[in-house]
Structure 1
């Protein structure tokens, strides 16, 4: 520690800490523009000049490390003169745009100019003008206002990992822009809006819509990925104007993914449902809430009574109750529904007598559901992820699925950690990959088995229950990966993680969305567990959405009720519900034809159902075709609730704007449905009551996962010679809200998902070229799609994105496909 003196008062700090950090920690204000606590020091704006004893000239506080006995004055005549001189230079070319600038009222330049600027400019020459360029649908540019602080440039290089913006030219002719004529396409690009200290970079979707002093700022939690980013929602006249990050170093630091920043636009989509509706004699009619809820309850009771009568006609009372437990009514929800909504939905369904409830819409293999943990998490905190020495990611396009977790891994990689990947596509990452294996879907199991064998061979370990290992071959990539997993890594500040002491290293094995959706997920998970144990690490999960963990804990699964309590009769899981016709369905916040892994089967099954109740925020022609009651529900920012993020942290939030029209929070709708069905335990007044009921039952005790075998006893091996389908859910198609955020749908990421993606060799073999249309045959279904040459796709595979209306008819996300030239 060193003792220094600032403005006559002593302070202590670590030797080498920058002056500006010491000042900030002690509430001493020093003006700045280029400095940011999460970026490297540029010292380019010179606004933070301070008077340092024995220094021949004022020194930049952001780039001056403290030393023992240093004396600093931030408000001396020398310091103030330097700061005012810099301010005058910065204003030479800055336009007088304040009355029309979106940054007006919350502009750092405005604030500092009031304190350090002159009343009248002495500059008499002409000001420079910079012509703006379109850098995409998310960021508006007014580069004449730019003061060359380079925050946006450093953000691209240091945080995004993609230098999309840079500086060209010298002096006042310096220009900030893209190096080539292209848009800014990173999934974190919107953060430059927050970083810009002036109005040079602003949010294009909210441009010219509000002044800073008209806006109310309210806290909330982002509703998409499992990070649970803390956000502040800016509201004007009960309408959301924009969403910005709220600082939380343990979760999202000061950053926010573009999906969380701009998806609020979906709240105001033209197909928003604002009134309850019922279908009578095939005709949709608007109605009041009482009539709609009564209609819904009557329809569900009719199915129950029919089922009950059929059972009592042939069986005794005990058999009737057993049959009642297998009630032909199922419920589907999404992993973005709140904890309270998931809890009340499963409570309602189980009160009716059905355990068929699920949120796992992308999963098809449920063989090991009983051994899953209470809820899936990283197995460590988000902040600890960047402290790992070795991370093996299995089946994840992490950069698009979980942008801020990807950022944590990038920080780990920059620190020296080894990142290993096993994926079906050769995704582009923004950090160095130590070793990667790109493998077709049918070879995932044998690839992981080979890695297990390499680990066992390297440790001279024996696994008696896995005789099949003798038949497994090991290639060089698997040996290299095994060597990295078992080699002691020495990087600073990396105590072993709780999975084991393996040589003083922190090892994590993470299963992603593509692994979870794989048709052999149970075997993959078992092999991943073996890899984690053999490498002395932990097995973690990359939960799919904002409340995947909460859905598990709430009991929105068919084999467990709330808090992981086993049920007497296991219900149907999501895939079975959407492929085996039930008589009735309750849908919460989803469009099954787009959100499930078999849209064609989901659509056909729902259209055959006798009665479908949909709690939905949107009305679509497809929904009209199979639903019988539409109950308008509140969305993100309109309702209160709780999300449990990927580290298991509970984060509650309140509604910040009123629901659209007559829409109501889903937990309230479910509460009334429970009361109308005369079910016990539905007399809640607030969502906090629902949350607290779960909390009290939990009592802080988290159940550990059931023990599973180190390795599977048998190894399922597929031999496929035809083209295999790979399916990935695009970053901006994952839920009903983001699909309707127009600015996000105009991005490069959203536009790139069209068509069938194949590599050049597959295209040549099929006599296809870019721009051709091809007929894609999968089973008995076929669609015509444009050809996209994509060399990320391995041989013998095609990539067809999920969540797309054009692809629904193809059916399941995995399987064999055939390509032919479309006529």
Structure 2
């Protein structure tokens, strides 16, 4: 490892370390604009100049462009280097508008910091400044091109790192321009990172514009709960309201960036219509009184019908504390549940995935970036877990091959091979790979496993005119393959098959990894706590048969996620009592007999388990209560002295459950230990490591659990279509649908259909189709594509689509027709 001296201090660094990085290891900050650890060096701004006094390099050089080598003697304070930096900054400031008093970047502007530290303090230039026209870039990013210093961070991140090309660099010389070829909303779901990356304020956060400076905000660590990845954020709040959210660096999880859904999905916490008072039989009461009424009425139903007449349901968006408190409540009272998932199939698939979890095979996003082959099965990362797509792109940039087996028209910001087959065929393919390629039979027959693997993939791909023979050989040669498995479109056995395939690959001396995409921020924790595969669907059945008379919903809105609206509404009407505890103004809250308000994660904190099996805890970002912008109606706070905070009596969901169960809040740690032995070694919430703790569930992966009798290849559907409900980046995840700026980002929902199926139904791209069932009709525009499986229809669970009316996953051809919109 090379040794060098920087400012009279010796340091030894790993090979390839840049001098600017070596200086940081010593606590020496060299000015920089273009350099960023995630983007690497480019040498565009010339402000990181240092002087090399001795060694293999001499003179003034850019510290980001020079790798550390033995014998180097570097000075960051040499007068020649300091004067060079001062001059560069002065040149950069010639055309700068000097609009710091009105610039939203003020207070966290790298240009401000580097101008002062570089010694430039006098404005000598008296000429006219170069000016540019700003562009409209959508609802998330404000463009102020006159502040640009041509550091190229934005174009390098947007095009090279994320793989989108609608924003870049244009012009030449002093007229270099960073923007779009024409005005319009940025296409990348990672565009919000431009506000964090830009060192000057060319790109600023539009939704939080003029709401405060950085020093005005309470800045606290946060966790994103809009998918199962658990990315790190910085929550910026003011006067009991989240104003903006930024990416927080995490080496193990999201690196330096987050997606736009995670960045802007927080607005549900501060909406005017957020319910902050309890309610019972239509009368507004305190949350504490609502809990008392709920306890009394639940006890009456228990006395009249028995404990089985009460059921509870939570959801994967709740914290681990809430999930365990709900489980404890059901155990203590012998109530039915709790159910954490909507449909039985979803509950079974998530439980199957978690049951095969092993710390040996589980990989992080950083591990995905290091893979040399990625196979995604039943996964649409851009729409389901956007930061996973970004990790896959980094692996592809490093030379990895990527393949996707999925019936949907999957799109990724990278080159990949797509096998668009029906769900049954995907299941059959995986079963064939496991049974015929990697099991003991193939080994006993004397056939080389690797060659057999290639032969099977080649045979399967030939049946569907998809030539992936070369891909099979790449897979066979790979040493660090990663298999990504989703939940939505594939049958129940697929998580088991994928886990078996990874286990078998590891027996072939491959460092194979497994990454599940789970349906919710805490789906992993919910699956661990599920003693049975009870689902909300089963509870609905019990209501229909009059076995359940009262239902307790905790942070769960079945009107949003349950796929049969007609059945749900009938079941809710049959209940004698519906108790709802939530922080959202949902249809379930409107239907509740008793409502109990709860705190959001920003006010209560909580513990969550990512899809990787990583337990993370985050504390409250601020004290709960009604924001001043609401109590003062946007003007001055109420002119009254009071000992409490308006709306500050609302409790966290787990605290409300504890009161309902008659428990003390102080036993929270005991709840976790009682709920599952894996939680016994978790530290106190105040001692949680920043990157969390990876669970080790002691799963035995030494031998793959192969199925020897796999069914024959399924036949083509003769009449009708399989209806697959799917997610979109914006508009289908529950919490983020309450965000006004993300509502503007939503793409118009449409029904995806394969071209041959569309021709058979006499539908063309842009036509409006009506899907009609006994539950109702849905009218939606048709999008005809080639890259999806025949015999299926893809319908997003979009908030603007009444998809729950259909109540089925099978449609006959006569239930689909072309209509005219009014």
Distance 2:320 2:165 in 1: 39
Aligned residues: 755
1:687 shift after superposition? 5.0
**Are positions 1:221 and 2:223 aligned together?**
yes
**Are positions 1:573 and 2:535 aligned together?**
yes
**Are positions 1:528 and 2:498 aligned together?**
yes
Match of 1:185 among 181, 184, 187: 187
- Residues 757 and 269 (structure 1 numbering): CA distance in 2 closer, same or farther, change over 3 Å? farther
Distance 1:189 1:404 in 2: 12
1:779 shift after superposition? 5.3
Map of 1:396 onto structure 2: 379
Whether the 8 Å contact between 1:364 and 1:575 is mirrored in structure 2 is: no
Distance 1:546 1:110 in 2: 38
Whether the 8 Å contact between 1:590 and 1:736 is mirrored in structure 2 is: no
Distance 2:77 2:438 in 1: 66
Distance 1:346 1:42 in 2: 54
- Residues 686 and 140 (structure 1 numbering): CA distance in 2 closer, same or farther, change over 3 Å? farther
1:610 shift after superposition? 1.9
**Are positions 1:804 and 2:787 aligned together?**
no
Map of 1:711 onto structure 2: 707
Match of 1:245 among 240, 247, 266: 247
Map of 1:155 onto structure 2: 157
1:729 shift after superposition? 2.2
Unaligned runs of 5+ in 1: 309-323, 464-469, 492-504, 560-570, 676-681
Distance 1:303 1:803 in 2: 37
Distance 1:695 1:820 in 2: 51
- Residues 253 and 686 (structure 1 numbering): CA distance in 2 closer, same or farther, change over 3 Å? farther
Deviations 1:346-390 (A, max 9, x none): 111122213422222255266688866458577234432333333
1:715 shift after superposition? 2.7
1:175 shift after superposition? 0.1
Match of 2:484 among 486, 502, 510: 510
Q: SS at the partner of 1:806?
A: coil
**Are positions 1:737 and 2:735 aligned together?**
yes
Map of 1:773 onto structure 2: 768
Deviations 1:533-557 (A, max 9, x none): 443345542222221112223x2x2
Deviations 1:661-700 (A, max 9, x none): 353210110000001xxxxxx2223756655766877444
**Are positions 1:444 and 2:426 aligned together?**
yes
Distance 2:178 2:524 in 1: 42
Map of 1:685 onto structure 2: 666
- Residues 613 and 743 (structure 1 numbering): CA distance in 2 closer, same or farther, change over 3 Å? same
Whether the 8 Å contact between 1:455 and 1:482 is mirrored in structure 2 is: no
1:201 shift after superposition? 0.6
Map of 1:36 onto structure 2: 36
Map of 1:819 onto structure 2: 816
Map of 2:370 onto structure 1: 387
Map of 1:673 onto structure 2: 660
* Equivalent residues in 2 for 1:478-517, closer than 5 Å: 484=471, 505-515=479-489
Between 657-666 and 446-455, report the one with greater CA deviation: 446-455
1:115 shift after superposition? 2.7
Map of 1:432 onto structure 2: 415
Q: SS at the partner of 1:82?
A: helix
Map of 2:516 onto structure 1: 541
Whether the 8 Å contact between 2:147 and 2:202 is mirrored in structure 1 is: yes
Distance 1:617 1:821 in 2: 41
Distance 1:646 1:188 in 2: 21
Whether the 8 Å contact between 1:684 and 1:690 is mirrored in structure 2 is: no
Unaligned runs of 5+ in 2: 446-455, 507-511, 626-646, 682-695
Between 253-262 and 352-361, report the one with greater CA deviation: 352-361
Q: SS at the partner of 2:419?
A: strand
Distance 1:473 1:174 in 2: 53
Whether the 8 Å contact between 2:581 and 2:595 is mirrored in structure 1 is: yes
Whether the 8 Å contact between 2:50 and 2:60 is mirrored in structure 1 is: yes
Between 234-243 and 134-143, report the one with greater CA deviation: 234-243
Distance 1:636 1:268 in 2: 12
Whether the 8 Å contact between 1:550 and 1:643 is mirrored in structure 2 is: yes
Map of 2:338 onto structure 1: 357
Match of 1:303 among 285, 301, 304: 301
Match of 2:285 among 284, 287, 294: 287
Whether the 8 Å contact between 2:226 and 2:265 is mirrored in structure 1 is: no
Distance 2:212 2:728 in 1: 32
Map of 2:631 onto structure 1: none
TM-score (norm 1): 0.85
Map of 2:693 onto structure 1: none
- Residues 697 and 53 (structure 1 numbering): CA distance in 2 closer, same or farther, change over 3 Å? closer
Distance 2:710 2:59 in 1: 75
